[in-house]
Structure 1
Amino acid sequence: MEKKEKKAAVEKKDKKAAESKSSGITPKDMTICKATEQMLEKAKRDGVETAFDRAASMKACPIGADSACCKHCSMGPCRLNAKDPYSKVGVCGATIDTIQARNFARMVASGASAHTDHGMSMLDVFREVVHGKIKDYKIKDTVKLEQVARSVGIETEGRSVEDIAMDLYHELERTYTQVEGEIPFVSRVPEKTLETWRKLGIVPRGAMREIMEIMHRTHIGVDQHYENIVKQCSRTALSDGWGGSMVATEISDILFGTPTPVQADVNMGCLKEDYVNVIVHGHEPNMFESMLASVNDPALIEAAKEAGAKGINLVGMCCSGAEVLSRHGVPHAGNFMSTEAILVTGAVDAMAVDVQCIKQGLSSVAKCYNSYLFTTNPRCHIEGAEHIELVEDKPRECTDEVVVKAIARYKNRTAQVEIPNISNPGIHGFSHEYIQYMLGGSFRASYKPLNDNIINGRIRGIAGVVGCCNPRVKHDWVHVELVKELIKNDVLVLQTGCSQISLAKAGLLTPEAAHLAGDGLKEVCETVGCPPVLGLGSCVDNSRILIATSEVVKEGGLGESIADLPAAGAAPEWMSEKAISIGHYFVASGVYTIFGATFPITDNTKFKDLLFSGLEDQGLGTWDFAADPYEMAKKMLAHIDKRRKALGLDKSRERVLFDMAARREMAA
């Protein structure tokens, strides 16, 4: 049996090598990340398959890509003709517009549920910390606690931390469970934007109510008008951005500390051959916070040394990695499309994962290099991976065991180790609170300097460039080229998630990158001492961008709603349903939002017209699409200029940098 298995493995390796050769696609064609390229070359030599190989050998379904199919009942699946969209309907009579709207709505529902469930998990941890049942975590940022409490109308003067925290818990719980009324964080929405939502009937009540309703509406025989379905898409997506996601970010800051800028390295060179290497990959920061305690435990460090290692090296990946990168400066090994490639180094002794963006293929790659892959969350088990559940009131039992097994693997390493000698420094951790401080200092923290420099034209506008990476396009390339174009044209860029790591690898998250910016943005960056690209954390931390845009509106001079701002958003290499929910809550908030790679829509349909122009006519933002980064940048700049013109900012103005003298005058 063993000989047959070895023979089968050799045959599989030869087959993969032949397929790769015949396709003509090389690792250099797949990614601009040199470390990932090096590991893909090694994977090819080792006969190991990754998502890049599967994407190259498997064509995307063209009908599904155009969202021209419906499989919501067993009378189908029904396939419509995207080239002649109104030539036929589904068995039930559903038109192309109804089918697209249902498909889109279910993506919004799934994406919103991911962030909502994450946020509710963090709120559960918060409650148990306040009750004293969880002792491994505590409230680290009491200032943030009081700020958040005041923002939702909770009195803080003369009250204990515990009392404020319990009131905040009960108030934020409404974000999820409320069936009528408005979710708490609408208090942060600019008045005119909220007025538009109320007029359209899209203010979220509670996330559970909105997600339940959207799933009901998309069942066969229920909502069959694309405009009405999209209305509920907006309500559901807003319950994510201004609800689930925002709660997750704010509670994480309160418990684990609000990020402030920290210099840290990214890329695979963060691994160390003579250390026990532990990687945490996923989205919930509490597991990573517990792992930090485990890897710094003197007893476990001593055990690692007894096994022949110099110590324990903790490295992050994906979004939980981005959070601790921002909070603690823990090195980050790479984004979503590098998660398999890093296992190919042979140096990973254990990878612990929780939820979201975890490839099932990690299990087979880990086995090829005798690395441990551990799942830790009850929501995510993977066939072939060992499950060590993290119990919130005793998290160290899980994280200690992961480290112990990683040490054992180090002692018995059999895989050939090859670590790319590539790491890239950058500045991370720009929370919206720190941006205020950076612009005005401790006593005059304000967005006024930012507004003034947008008004005087030094900064042309703001762009949020966020999201995943996708093997259907060249890994990292679209992110990097788009952002280079934007900063060259004086657009300040805010980043989260995998996109942030793409840009960090390209060196764009350093103050020195200001030389790539236009003259106006360059001068502002050099004066303030910041990069032209600001990293704000994980994908759930897109809520920081929402808060920042609200503060810009409230500061004055740039319109009365988010829709008035010279701002744009982009997800150049998106791949998940979370991205659709994120994109739609930005659109519903008033932001022009453009996606790359692909978009689930059929041309020349009423549904496309609604998303790509009709929502803007209602006073919201608008969707757009471009696969090419330069075309994407051109469209974003055109929108920013359109908004500048509407605000009367297209005329020549005196370009005065908001200096210290002006700040003193403001304070007087």
Structure 2
Amino acid sequence: MKQHLPVLNVEVPDKAEHVASTPNPASRELLQRLEALGVETLFDRFEQQKPQCTFGLTGRCCRMCQWGPCRIGPRAERGICGKDQNAMVIGNVMRALVAGLSAHGRHAHEAMFSVLAAADGKAHLAIKGEARVLELAGRFGVPAEGRPIADVAREVTRILLEDLGRLDASPLRTLEAFAPPERQETWRGLGILPRSASYEVMEALHMTTLGGCTDWTALAAQELRAALAYCYSTLFGSSFATEMLFGLPQQRITTVNYGILKADHVNVLMHGHSPVMVEVILEKLRSPEIQQLASAAGAAGIVVGGLCCSGEELLARHGVSTVTNIGGQELVLGTGAVDAVVVDMQCVIPGAKILADCFGTQIITTCKSNRIPGALHVPFDPEEPEQLQADAERVARAAVEAFARRDRSKIHIPQVTTAAQVGWSYENILDTLGGAERIVELLRSGTLKGIATIVGCNTPKVPYEHNHVTLARELIRSDVLLLTTGCCAHALLNDGLCGPDAAGQAGPGLGRLCRQLGIPPVLAVGGCVDNTRTLRLFAEVSRAAGVAVKDLPFMFIGPEPGNEKTVGQGLTFLVHGVSNLVGFPGPIPPAIPRPKPGEPGELERGSNDVIDFLAGTEGVLKLVGAKIYTEPEPRLGAQLVRMHLRRKRLALGWAGQHSMGQ
């Protein structure tokens, strides 16, 4: 059933609307097939949770101690401890933020220690990204000339590790090396420069424990500080470490979507977020020994596909086809053609194991901190990497051996594939577009009306992938160049918006540019940690323009907020001066319009301290130059983005505003 939420002024879809509205015909086909088979998915379980609690939906429920849970409402304006709505709501948001910070921090830890293992000659890992090692050495002042690349990589990685776990008040060196000077001055003035991911997580949880800080403005400052740690301690650290190990992405054309699976092949999906063991398993699956094992089992070959960000890492560097995102991981198992899913960390929902058992798929977990009952567990420890090669071969063999156990009567592969141009690094985006100065000219002339990053998870609170795709189609028609990462990228890849032919869907300026350069209007720049590539692009364009990031026509868009990590993604861009459009109201009490005193029939904008701080004119907008907008209807959301970009252009006196409202 649909659920109308008057308190949020939204309506959440039922399963029928998910089926009708999802833009990918393969997803629709599998949703209908699983419905006919009576197999439960997350969309069914979402129905079972309705009606959802409005206290939780608006962030007015507190579980930070054992006295509660407490709820704020008309009957009770404070929790048992005396905490008011402001402290409760900001505390809840901050705890979600640092949970996401911890997840990316764990990812960064694994990637960094893997670089150290490679530098020390362990695990037969090679340092393939010499260019990134040398760039970081230059930024950090590490001597590189005449030294073995392994020694330079080791020293650079130690700096990244210090930034991940520093407890004293020394500067966060990655932030100093990469953040725009104007932003650093702003953050210093606000007193929100962080120490490290580890320290800011500890401080955030300390401040929000029972009897801790209840000054909501101090909590809000810590939230911004933690967002900076999220960015420069974990996102930059993990992205850089991966690039040092495996090199930079390279542009290529490949094929994505569910139809890449083949009934007569071994089908192996790589799922999660950390690419280290994934890369070695890929090597093993392509080795003559494992190929021969597949042939002996009767398979015509091996298909490797990707799910979530591990899939996007392989897509960016190797052109390995991706299939779907967190919301579709159960659907792809419903094809009955997947022999094994190799999962590392994060976004592997418990329902995936339920579907795997229904269709005979082997789940193999490879991260110490991710155990799934009944799955084969072959964990990778980057601090004890000597078993990596042997364990990766064990995983590859187990995946191939599962082929013989497949129930072929259950195979149903939607024959839907999509072309995609992938492998967009920060460097090759700049090179392809002609450099930062050329991008400034494209923006100034109105050929591009703006640049936006459209990212994030899936949520059953909006029709599956519909908002991602609708917003993207609307914005490229309005000459807005898009960059995308994470689960949103899967939706746009599968829709064809990341392929060169999508230039025909773009507006006159963007479309002409794409045809001239042979590129798509939506650039898939990697997994969720690779939002660093977009941030670096924004900072470099700002430098070339001589204009602060906050004053340029940029925007962050998160159409389907889901995982706690999405809180940090949005706030990362916010503190850099890039306003957010969020596609579903977050767990924050809404500003409900109210009657204007003395003016019958007239309404004034509602207000509360938290919403005013995040979305008003006196809060973060005044502090960092950006704010948060919320709009669950994607076409209205696209119009809001166009209006925001137009205001930025008008303030700069840049030409070409007339075609914004196509």
TM-score with structure 2 setting the length: 0.91
1:484 & 1:27 partners in 2: Cα distance? Answer: 19
1:40 to 31, 44, 50: 31
SS of 2:110 mapped into structure 1: helix
- Is 1:172 aligned with 2:164? no
Contact 1:295–1:313 (Cα < 8 Å) also in 2: no
Listed one character per residue, the Cα deviations across residues 51-103 of structure 1 (whole Å, up to 9, x for unaligned) are 1111123223221010011111122111112xx5x961111111111100100
- Is 1:465 aligned with 2:468? no
2:24 & 2:657 partners in 1: Cα distance? Answer: 41
- Is 1:138 aligned with 2:132? no
Task: State the 1:157 CA deviation.
Answer: 3.0
Contact 2:123–2:389 (Cα < 8 Å) also in 1: no
Alignment correspondent of 2:440: 451
Alignment correspondent of 2:264: 274
Alignment correspondent of 1:254: 244
What pairs up with 1:96-175 in 2 under 5 angstroms? 96-135=85-124, 137-175=125-163
What pairs up with 1:12-27 in 2 under 5 angstroms? 25=16
1:639 to 636, 639, 644: 644
Q: Aligned letter for 1:605?
A: N
What pairs up with 1:357-396 in 2 under 5 angstroms? 357-391=347-381, 392-396=385-389
What pairs up with 1:317-336 in 2 under 5 angstroms? 317-336=307-326
SS of 1:310 mapped into structure 2: coil
Alignment correspondent of 2:519: 530
SS of 1:351 mapped into structure 2: strand
Listed one character per residue, the Cα deviations across residues 378-420 of structure 1 (whole Å, up to 9, x for unaligned) are 1111123232223433223333223322333212322521111
Contact 1:264–1:330 (Cα < 8 Å) also in 2: yes
1:474 & 1:266 partners in 2: Cα distance? Answer: 21
Task: State the 1:207 CA deviation.
Answer: 1.3
Q: Percent identity?
A: 33
Task: State the 1:650 CA deviation.
Answer: 5.1
TM-score with structure 1 setting the length: 0.90
1:341 & 1:202 partners in 2: Cα distance? Answer: 43
2:529 to 540, 548, 568: 540
2:612 to 601, 609, 614: 609
Q: Summarize the Cα distance change of 1:516–1:492 in structure 2 as closer, same or farther, 3 Å threshold.
A: same
- Is 1:430 aligned with 2:428? no
- Is 1:628 aligned with 2:621? no
Alignment correspondent of 2:70: 78
Task: State the 1:621 CA deviation.
Answer: 2.0
Alignment correspondent of 2:337: 347
2:161 & 2:395 partners in 1: Cα distance? Answer: 32
2:315 & 2:106 partners in 1: Cα distance? Answer: 23
1:293 to 283, 287, 303: 283
Task: State the 1:439 CA deviation.
Answer: 2.6
Alignment correspondent of 2:563: 576
Q: Aligned letter for 1:177?
A: G
SS of 1:463 mapped into structure 2: strand
Q: Summarize the Cα distance change of 1:164–1:267 in structure 2 as closer, same or farther, 3 Å threshold.
A: same
1:428 & 1:531 partners in 2: Cα distance? Answer: 10
1:397 & 1:501 partners in 2: Cα distance? Answer: 31
Contact 1:193–1:563 (Cα < 8 Å) also in 2: no
SS of 1:468 mapped into structure 2: coil
2:291 & 2:543 partners in 1: Cα distance? Answer: 50
1:164 & 1:44 partners in 2: Cα distance? Answer: 55
SS of 1:388 mapped into structure 2: strand
Alignment correspondent of 1:214: 204
SS of 2:122 mapped into structure 1: coil
Q: Aligned letter for 1:555?
A: A
2:356 & 2:20 partners in 1: Cα distance? Answer: 24
- Is 1:589 aligned with 2:580? no
Contact 1:468–1:573 (Cα < 8 Å) also in 2: yes
SS of 1:316 mapped into structure 2: strand
Contact 1:346–1:418 (Cα < 8 Å) also in 2: yes
Structure 1: gaps (5+ residues): 1-22, 441-445, 654-668
Alignment correspondent of 1:225: 215
1:598 & 1:147 partners in 2: Cα distance? Answer: 40
SS of 2:340 mapped into structure 1: strand
Listed one character per residue, the Cα deviations across residues 534-564 of structure 1 (whole Å, up to 9, x for unaligned) are 110001111111111111111124x1x2212
1:55 to 33, 46, 63: 46
Alignment correspondent of 1:15: none
Q: Summarize the Cα distance change of 1:163–1:376 in structure 2 as closer, same or farther, 3 Å threshold.
A: closer
- Is 1:649 aligned with 2:654? yes
- Is 1:481 aligned with 2:470? yes
1:28 & 1:439 partners in 2: Cα distance? Answer: 38
Q: Summarize the Cα distance change of 1:30–1:388 in structure 2 as closer, same or farther, 3 Å threshold.
A: farther
Listed one character per residue, the Cα deviations across residues 106-126 of structure 1 (whole Å, up to 9, x for unaligned) are 011101111111112111111
Choose 339-348 or 414-423, whichever is displaced more: 414-423
2:185 to 191, 195, 199: 195
SS of 1:277 mapped into structure 2: strand
Contact 2:449–2:656 (Cα < 8 Å) also in 1: no
1:221 & 1:279 partners in 2: Cα distance? Answer: 47
2:475 & 2:54 partners in 1: Cα distance? Answer: 31
1:625 & 1:27 partners in 2: Cα distance? Answer: 21
SS of 1:348 mapped into structure 2: coil
SS of 1:458 mapped into structure 2: coil
Q: Aligned letter for 2:23?
A: I
1:524 & 1:407 partners in 2: Cα distance? Answer: 45
Q: Summarize the Cα distance change of 1:113–1:531 in structure 2 as closer, same or farther, 3 Å threshold.
A: same
Alignment correspondent of 1:69: 61
